[in-house]
Amino acid sequence: MRRDDTTRPGRRVVMLVDNAVDCDSRVQKAARSAADAGWDVTLIGCAHVDAERRWRLGQAEVRVLPLSAARALPPTTAPAVVSGPGGGVPGPRGVSGLRARLVARGGLPLRAARLARRPVEHAQVRYWRARLRDGAWRRLEPGLWDYERVAGPVVDELRPDLIHAHDFRMLGAAARAVDRARAAGRDVRLVWDAHEWLPGARPRRENVRWLPAHLGYVREYVGHADAVVTVSDTLADLLVRDHHLPERPAVVLNAPVTAAPEASAPELRERCGVAAGTPLLVYSGAMAAQRGVDTVVEALPLLPGVHLALVVADPAAAYVRQVVARAARHGVGDRVHVLPYVPHRQLVAFLAAADVGLIPLHHWPNHEIALITKFFEYAHARLPIVVSDVRTMAETVRATGQGEVFRARDAADLARAVRAVLADPARYRAAYEGEDSPLPGWTWEAQAERLDALYRRLLTPTR
């Protein structure tokens, strides 16, 4: 978007996100493009960092606040909970006794302890949901208050005209900040940016409290949003259905920035030590079991001479080391190359040196409904895409002809798809050329215009 201060004088936007910003390209692009369009943007991240960090993304200010500070601060809005006799809040009968007996016996091995804990957690969920309904998150997932304790005072001090809450954890903190502002006589608008379908999310921790707590948290506060934004048409429809939204969410795709990067991109093949002409597959993004990279490693013995580049946030992470060890056991360790992330504005040019972009996802609800960031990044790098048969991306690849689809978790079928692409790459790259190319609509510049239009609509005075 083009900066135009004359139409947005002094209008302040605060964006909130529950991470350290540096690995979240959607959040970075949203903040920078809004600031380039003339909004006064402050992006606040909440993360496990040692001290506050500050920098600038173009004209946008970034502040990452340490969650550890939350323990020393009261919530800006006191938690409303039903108290039992003596000021405490009783739990379901027998819970504390079971815990005490386990501790007295020296505990249990980790997996056994988790299994033993599940009946207790189910009891907690039933008890607190019956007692507090959607507000049960206050007891099932009280750590959600930490985002409010840390970010709330900063948001209040900034006095924004609009708050843009990214993903689900920041929705409640944003909604309560809006309530406080309106109580003080200021009219503040709230945009909720739903990055994923929460009922289909995989919990970060293995406990049964996580999902019902977060679902209740979102239900409690979604009605505070003046507008909802999301990442795909399928997810927009699900949000309307789940929350009875009066207006369909605006769809802002996770598309890449296509403007020339501010610095030249590093060389992918040079970093891998792979010569031109040697087949090179690339996987870029988060690493976890459900992402399916193990399937790629198992397919490499069926693809002689083919190399794999893994572009990941932390090359030393435990799961990345497990994947590399698996490759060594399969005798292909010398053909797997692990590289760190590059800045998102350089990523498309960085990926373009590969021959195939891989999306080997397992079947998981959120994988079925999304066109994920790497899908668009591979497309703008003009890479043929080999994707598992997760619904939305598989349908798109079949419709455009930009790649091949394989059965999720089937290494032999993945190898078959890769061989098909490597045999005739020009056939697949042709999907990105000509009048029927989908690429012009798959740019962040096009998405940023939608976001800017939404901001202007919400902040335009009406009679």
Contacts of 183 (CB under 8 A, 6+ apart): none
- Residue-level pLDDT at 110: 55
Q: How many Å apart are CA 353 and CA 151, to the nearest integer? A: 41
**3 pLDDT exceeds 70?**
no
Give per-residue pLDDT as tens, 152-199.
Answer: 999 999 999 999 999 999 999 999 999 999 999 999 999 999 999 999
- Residue-level pLDDT at 119: 79
- Residue-level pLDDT at 370: 87
Q: How many Å apart are CA 1 and CA 29, to the nearest integer? A: 11
Average pLDDT over residues 13-39: 96
- Domain assignment of residue 107, yes or no: no
Asked whether the beta carbons of 243 and 220 are under 8 A apart, the reply is no
Residue 76's pLDDT band, with cuts at 50, 70 and 90, is low
- 360/398 same-domain check: yes
- Domain assignment of residue 154, yes or no: yes
- Domain assignment of residue 97, yes or no: no
- 275/202 same-domain check: no
- Residue-level pLDDT at 6: 46
- Residue-level pLDDT at 94: 45
Asked whether the beta carbons of 221 and 211 are under 8 A apart, the reply is no
CATH number for the domain that contains residue 418: 3.40.50.2000
- 454/406 same-domain check: no
- 250/300 same-domain check: no
Residue bearing the bigger pLDDT, 282 or 2: 282
- Domain assignment of residue 280, yes or no: yes
- 247/287 same-domain check: no
Residue 362 DSSP label:
P
- Residue-level pLDDT at 392: 93
Residue 69's pLDDT band, with cuts at 50, 70 and 90, is confident
Give per-residue pLDDT as tens, 194-211.
Answer: 999 999 887 766 688 899
- Residue-level pLDDT at 93: 45
Average confidence score pLDDT of the chain: 89
Residue 75's pLDDT band, with cuts at 50, 70 and 90, is low
Residue 417's pLDDT band, with cuts at 50, 70 and 90, is very high
Residue of 53, 17, 13, 54 whose CA lies nearest to 33: 13
Structural domain of residue 183, as residue ranges?
5-76+142-255+447-459
- Residue-level pLDDT at 461: 78
- Domain assignment of residue 412, yes or no: yes
Buried b (16+ CB within 10 A) or exposed e, 217-254: bbbbbbebbbbbbbbbebbbebbeeebebeeebbebbb
- 301/218 same-domain check: no
- Residue-level pLDDT at 83: 35
Ranking 4-8, 225-229, 458-462 by mean pLDDT, the lowest is 4-8
- Domain assignment of residue 88, yes or no: no
- Please provide the DSSP assignment of 239-292 as one string: HHHHHT-SSPPEE---PPP-SPPSSPPPPHHHHHT--TTS-EEEEES---GGG-
- 380/302 same-domain check: yes
- Residue-level pLDDT at 112: 60
- 363/273 same-domain check: yes
Residue bearing the bigger pLDDT, 455 or 9: 455
- 63/158 same-domain check: yes
Question: How far is residue 163 CA from its own chain's centroid?
Answer: 19
Residue 192 DSSP label:
E
Tally of domains in the chain:
2
CA distances (Å), 258 to each of 35, 346, 407, 450, in order?
Answer: 17, 10, 32, 16
- 27/49 same-domain check: yes
- Domain assignment of residue 17, yes or no: yes
- 207/290 same-domain check: no
**225 pLDDT exceeds 80?**
yes
Give per-residue pLDDT as tens, 338-388.
Answer: 999 998 889 999 999 999 999 999 999 989 998 999 999 999 999 999 999
Instruction: Report the interhelical angle of 444-459 vs 25-36 (nearest 10°).
Output: 60
% the chain with pLDDT above 90? 77
Residue of 30, 13, 12 whose CA lies nearest to 21: 30
- Domain assignment of residue 277, yes or no: yes
Q: How many Å apart are CA 423 and CA 308, to the nearest integer? A: 17
Q: Say what the pTM is.
A: 0.84
CA distances (Å), 395 to each of 167, 376, 398, 402, 431, in order?
Answer: 26, 15, 5, 11, 14
Residue bearing the bigger pLDDT, 200 or 1: 200
Residue 85's pLDDT band, with cuts at 50, 70 and 90, is very low
**79 pLDDT exceeds 60?**
no
Residue 111's pLDDT band, with cuts at 50, 70 and 90, is low
- 412/323 same-domain check: yes
